[in-house]
Amino acid sequence: MTLFTPRIPEIPSSSFSSLPAWFSALLRARGIETEEETRRFLHPSLKDLHSPFLMQDMEKAVRLIRDAIDAGERIMIFGDYDADGICAVSILLETLSEMKAQVSFRLPSRQRDGYGLHEAAVREISEKASLLITVDCGISNLDEVRLAKSLGLTVIVTDHHQLPETLPPADAILEPLLGDYPCPHLCGAGVALKLTQALLGAEGLEKRLDLAAVATVADVVPLLDENRIIVREGLRRLESTPRPGLRALIRSAGLSAPLRADDLAFRIGPRLNAAGRLGDASAGVRLLLTGKEDKALADAAALEEQNRLRQGMEREITARALEEVSGFSPEDRVLIAAGEGWNPGLIGLSAGRLCEKFYRPAIVLSLPEDGGPATGSCRSIPGVHIFEMLRACSDLLLRFGGHAQAAGLSLDRENIPALRQRLNDVIREQCDEDCFRRRLEYDAELPFPVWTEESLSLLGQLEPCGCGNPAPLFLLSGARVDTLRRVGRDGAHLQLFLRTPENMPFKGIGFSLGEEGDRETDEDLDILYTPFLSRYNGKTSVEAQIKALRTSAL
C-alpha cells in the first residue's frame, strides 16, 4: 500500500513576515528557514549567482582557452547526446564563436559509440585540433584523457557526474562536485554556462539562459540555488527567445506563454532528446543555433517525427521488458531486463517505467545482435544510490557512470546473471528495507476553501518546481464522491465530482488514474492533489489535479 506522509510534522503557528503560516510551512519543507533565504527563493535574481571563479580550475580553463584563441589554435568541443549535452555544446560553441575562436564540435552516436569519450574519437580529434573541451562528460574517461594527452592535446574536462576514484589527467577540470563550489548540483549545460560567465561576463551568460534552462530541467537536477535562478530567468527569456530553433520547438510542442518547468520537462526536453535517441544528436545543436526561420521549422518538424517514432518504439521495448521481469520475486531488490537489439537510446526510458511501476531499481540492457557487450541504463528510487551500488560491482562491468538515481553501464553479457545476484546482495546489505515502501509526501492538510485566486497566486511563487523543489501537494481527507468516470483515450484518465467534508462541491482530474474509475462511489476518499484555477466559459473555479487517492477507511 502507498503511504501518504507529510513533509513536515505540522504547520507552525509562526510565519515569515506577512506570509500565511501554511505558506511558511511549504518554505520550511524546502529548507528555507530565514527571511534572507525566503527573499532569494521567492525572488531569485541573477545578482545572486555565484562567481564562476569559485569553481576549481576556472582561472586555469579561461587562460587555456584565451591562449588557444590568441594562438589561432583549433578547438574541439566533445559533448553528450542527450538534451543536456546538446545544450551544453550549443552554449560553449556559441560562446567561443563569439570570441572568434576556430571551434567545431563532435557528439558521439548513442548506438555506435555509447556515452563519453572513446579512443577512435580522441585519435580523430588529435588530427584536427589542439584543445579538446568535453561538456557533460569526461570525468570518468581516465584512459581516453591519458591518450589525448599522449597525442599532444590540451584537455579541459567540464562535467557534473559523480566523481570517480581517480580523476583524469586533464589540464583543467571544471566540476561542481570538486572543491567548495557553493552549488554542486549544476547540470552539464550549467557548468558550460559558468564557463561562459567567466569568459564573457554577465551579458554573455544572460544571452544563453534559455538554453541552460532547458538542459537544467531536462537533466532532472535539483531546482535550487543557481539552478532555480537559471530556470526562473531562462523561462522568461524563452517566452521571447530570439532563437528561431527554440521558437520552432515551442511551436511544434503546442506551447504558449507563460511557460512552466513542466513544459521543458515533458514537451521540449523529449523532442530535443529525440535527436540523439534515434539519429544524430548534432541535429539538435544545429537546430538550437540556426539563425534561419525556415530551416528551424523544418528541423523542428523532423524532430517531431522522430519523437513520435520514439514513443512507439519505447512502448514496444517497455512491453517486452515487463514480460522479462514478470516473474520477479518480492525478495528481489533490483529488476534487470535484457533484450536482443533493443534501441540503446530508449532503454533508459523503459528502465524508468519499470522503476515507477514496481518501485524497485531497474536496469534495462540492450544486447547487440553481433554478440558484443550489453549496454544498460539504470533508474533507481530514493534510498538506493545506484551509482554506489554499481561501484560495488565494478569488477563485473566494462564501464559505468551516473548519479544517485540514474546511471549507465556496459558489461559482457555472460556477466548479467552475476550482476543481478551481486546487486541484490549489495542492496540488501547497504539499503534500508523501508525505502522499498512507496511513499507519497504531501505538504499539508488544509481545508479546500483556503484556495482562492489570491492564495493560488501566492502558491505560484514556488515555481519553477521540479527535482529538489517538488510541486506542492496537499491532503484532503474524507472527500465524498458524487460521480467518477474514466475519460480520455482508452479511459486512461479519471474525472471526479467531489464534496469536501463541509459539503463544498469541487471538480478533480486524475491523469493516468483511469483504473480508479471502477471504485464504488459510496466510498469516502483521501486524495493527494494540487489545486489550480480553471477558467471556462467566463467562469472561474478552483479544481484539483489529483495525484493519488485511497479509501478513507485505510
Along the chain (554 residues), what's the average pLDDT of each consecutive run of 10 residues? 74 66 87 88 94 98 98 97 96 98 93 84 96 96 97 98 94 97 97 98 97 96 95 96 96 93 94 87 95 95 92 94 90 94 91 93 94 93 94 93 88 95 95 89 91 94 92 94 90 93 94 87 90 88 94 76
C-alpha cell at 246: 527554440
The answer to whether residues 429 and 444 belong to one domain is no
The answer to whether residues 241 and 139 belong to one domain is yes
Do 306 and 273 meet the contact criterion of CB atoms below 8 Å apart? no
- Best CA proximity match to 210, nearest among 186, 193, 191: 193
The answer to whether residues 378 and 428 belong to one domain is yes
DSSP state of 222: -
Does 41 map to a domain?
no
Residue that the C-alpha cell 559558468 belongs to: 194
What pairing do the DSSP bridges indicate for beta strands 525-536 and 539-551? antiparallel
Does 164 map to a domain?
yes
DSSP secondary structure of 55-80: STTHHHHHHHHHHHHHTT-EEEEE--
C-alpha cell at 511: 491523469
- Best CA proximity match to 257, nearest among 236, 288, 242: 236
List strand residue ranges (DSSP E) for 18-143, in order.
Answer: 74-78, 102-106, 131-135
What is the SS3 assignment for 105?
Answer: strand
- Best CA proximity match to 466, nearest among 223, 214, 264, 266: 223
C-alpha cell at 51: 562567481
The answer to whether residues 246 and 103 belong to one domain is yes
Does 2 map to a domain?
no
Do 491 and 462 meet the contact criterion of CB atoms below 8 Å apart? no
Does 258 map to a domain?
yes
The answer to whether residues 121 and 98 belong to one domain is yes
Structural domain harbouring 497: 440-551
The answer to whether residues 417 and 405 belong to one domain is yes
- Best CA proximity match to 219, nearest among 305, 125, 135: 135
Provide the domain count of the chain. Answer: 3
The distance from CA 446 to its chain's CA centroid, rounded to whole angstroms, is: 30
The answer to whether residues 246 and 273 belong to one domain is yes
The answer to whether residues 58 and 77 belong to one domain is yes
Does 4 map to a domain?
no
Question: Quick check: pTM over 0.85?
Answer: yes
pLDDT for residue 339: 94
The answer to whether residues 114 and 181 belong to one domain is yes
What is the SS3 assignment for 366?
Answer: strand
Instruction: Determine which helix (DSSP H) or strand (DSSP E) holds 484, and give its type and residue range.
Output: strand 474-487
Here the CATH number for the domain that contains residue 243 is 3.90.1640.30
Of 419, 436, 453, the last residue of a domain is 436
- Best CA proximity match to 72, nearest among 34, 113, 94, 100: 100
> What does the alpha-carbon distance between residue 146 and residue 139 come to, in Å, rounded to a whole number?
12
Of 389, 404, 436, the last residue of a domain is 436
Does 104 map to a domain?
yes
Task: List 137's β-bridge partners, or say none.
Answer: none
> What does the alpha-carbon distance between residue 391 and residue 407 come to, in Å, rounded to a whole number?
11
Does 30 map to a domain?
no
Does 322 map to a domain?
no
